[in-house]
């Protein structure tokens, strides 16, 4: 992946790394036009570490575009166009990405945008009415080429002026992938990405992790969602505790820790790292801290086997102290629960603001 800020391109392409996004960029690039792929990144989607490999594999220049802040703000305000099956606001998401791509056009001297949307492929965001809403609200009406379905849609400015040969664009529709695979073979693309973009908002197992955060925190931050993606999650009212499942989680928790987070670790036994995040500037009571320490200690087999009290170190900023707990004590005054998927709560959240 290079730095392309000083280069000029004809078009910017939304590039998720999915087959449709690759083919859409290729359809324009094969006409001799210069295409730069924008790979959007947020706590929920994006694989910026793959860009170099993709550039080599598909021969498309790519840059990462971080839209975490705007995306999280949009989720916090509530979805304008509704959610898909889980917590995925696909129409709002597309509007956000296209609006950002439009803003970036002058930076690269580019005149139009390419996307890999296929008419009728997805129930929510790729019906004709949804495609029209996306185009209207992102204000890209005449400069967005949905290259795979272009011949089924009204001509755009670059097609009208002859910059892009409409006849060489696609006329795909529907859910099948046969035509895409045929096109991929024509372009010599052997590495076919599996369908489904891996957006965490579409999967209940990951989306459920975000629900308590929306419920309990007045104003969310992208880092909160990276934290929600990490380790085991536990909540007691608005008290949030994350516990690493392995070394990689523990390292991530350390990286994500902020000054006023509680870092919890067994003093004399091997075990996971716990991170307690106080929300809305609310300090934790000694009772809550002690129960968090007890929970963290339960995930250490050696501490559990030890028949007695074990020391747990709690660090907040520069202040560190040790608390004694008994792992697995049956009667716990504070109950920590793991998040569960709740469609009704998701609906309420999506209408917030
Ligand atoms: S699946 Fe996720 S990344 Fe894709 S359009 Fe929907 S919200 Fe956006």
Tens of pLDDT, residue by residue over 175-188, are: 888 999 999 999 99
Residue 207 neighbours by CB under 8 Å, 6+ apart: 86, 87, 88, 200, 201, 341, 346
Residue 352 neighbours by CB under 8 Å, 6+ apart: 76, 77, 78, 214
What is the structure's pLDDT at 196?
64
What is the structure's pLDDT at 105?
97
Give the position of tokens 């730069």: 36
User: Hey, what are 350's tokens?
Assistant: 């999506």
User: Hey, what are 207's tokens?
Assistant: 């989306």
What is the structure's pLDDT at 212?
94
Ligand 1: centre distance to CA 318 (Å): 40
Residue 316 bridge partners (DSSP): 262, 319
Cα 293 to Cα 260, 267, 287, 332: the distances in Å are: 16, 11, 10, 12
pLDDT average, residue stretch 158-164: 97
CA dihedral angle for residue 190, residue 116, residue 61, residue 1, rounded to 10 degrees: -80
The residue to mutate among 198, 200, 202, 203, having the most atoms of ligand 1 within 8 angstroms of its beta carbon, is 202
Q: What confidence tier does 332 reach under pLDDT thresholds 50, 70, 90?
A: confident
The residue to mutate among 43, 199, 204, 210, having the most atoms of ligand 1 within 8 angstroms of its beta carbon, is 199
What is the structure's pLDDT at 2?
62
- For residue 1, pLDDT over 70 is answered with no
Lowest-confidence region among 34-48, 84-98, 162-176, 180-194:
180-194
What is the structure's pLDDT at 277?
97
Ligand 1: centre distance to CA 118 (Å): 14
Q: What confidence tier does 307 reach under pLDDT thresholds 50, 70, 90?
A: confident
228-268 pLDDT tens trace: 999 999 999 999 999 999 999 999 999 999 999 999 999 99
13-39 pLDDT tens trace: 999 999 999 999 999 999 999 999 999
Residue 133 neighbours by CB under 8 Å, 6+ apart: 81, 91, 95
What is the structure's pLDDT at 53?
94
What is the structure's pLDDT at 37?
98
Locate the ligand 1 atom nearest the alpha carbon of residue 84 and give its number: 6
- For residue 3, pLDDT over 80 is answered with no
Q: Do residues 337 and 313 make contact, with C-beta atoms less than 8 angstroms apart?
A: no
Ligand 1: centre distance to CA 201 (Å): 7
What is the structure's pLDDT at 301?
94
The closest of 28, 23, 50, 53 to 39, measured between CA atoms, is: 50
What is the structure's pLDDT at 328?
80
Locate the ligand 1 atom nearest the alpha carbon of residue 89 and give its number: 7
186-215 pLDDT tens trace: 999 988 887 766 899 999 999 999 999 999
> DSSP secondary structure string, 223-281?
HHHHHHTSSEEEEETTEEEEE-SSHHHHHHHHHH--TTSEEEEESSS----EEEE--TT
From the CB of 45, is ligand 1 less than 6 Å away?
yes
pLDDT average, residue stretch 207-224: 90
State in Å, rounded, how far the first CA of the chain is from the last one.
39
Q: What is the pTM of this model?
A: 0.92
CATH number of 11-200: 3.40.50.620
pLDDT average, residue stretch 315-319: 95
Q: How far apart are CA 91 and CA 82, in angstroms?
A: 8
Residues of the chain with CATH 3.40.50.620: 11-200
């Amino acid at each position: 992946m290079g730095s392309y800020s000083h280069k000029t391109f004809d078009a910017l392409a939304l590039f998720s790394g999915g087959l449709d996004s690759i083919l859409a960029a290729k359809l324009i690039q094969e006409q001799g036009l210069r295409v730069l792929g924008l790979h959007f990144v947020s706590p929920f989607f994006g694989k910026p570490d793959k860009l170099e490999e993709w550039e080599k594999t598909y021969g498309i220049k790519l840059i990462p575009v971080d839209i975490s802040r705007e995306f999280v703000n949009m989720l916090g305000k509530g979805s304008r166009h509704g959610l898909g099956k889980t917590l995925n606001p696909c129409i709002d998401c597309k509007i956000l990405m296209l609006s950002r791509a439009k803003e970036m056009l002058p930076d690269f001297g580019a005149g139009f945008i390419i996307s890999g949307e296929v008419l009728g492929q997805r129930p929510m965001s790729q019906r004709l009415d949804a495609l029209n809403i996306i185009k209207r609200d992102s204000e890209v009406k005449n400069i967005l080429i949905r290259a795979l379905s272009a011949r089924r849609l009204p001509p755009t400015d670059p097609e009208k002026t002859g910059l892009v040969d409409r006849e060489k664009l696609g006329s795909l529709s529907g859910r099948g992938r046969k035509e895409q695979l045929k096109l991929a073979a024509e372009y010599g693309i052997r590495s076919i990405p599996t369908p489904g973009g891996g957006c965490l908002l579409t999967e209940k197992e990951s989306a459920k992790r975000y629900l308590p955060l929306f419920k309990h925190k007045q104003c969310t931050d992208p880092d909160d969602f990276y934290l929600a993606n990490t380790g085991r999650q536990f909540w007691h009212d608005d008290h949030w505790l994350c516990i690493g499942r392995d070394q990689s989680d523990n390292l991530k928790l350390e990286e994500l820790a902020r000054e006023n987070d509680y870092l919890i670790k067994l003093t004399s036994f091997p075990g996971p790292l716990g991170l307690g995040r106080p929300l809305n500037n609310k300090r934790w009571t000694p009772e809550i801290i002690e129960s968090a320490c007890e929970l963290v200690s339960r995930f250490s087999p050696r501490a559990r086997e030890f028949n007695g009290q074990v020391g747990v170190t709690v660090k907040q900023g520069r202040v560190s102290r040790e608390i004694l707990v008994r792992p697995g004590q049956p009667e716990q005054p504070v109950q920590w629960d793991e998040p569960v998927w709740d469609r009704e709560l998701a609906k309420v959240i999506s209408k917030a603001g």
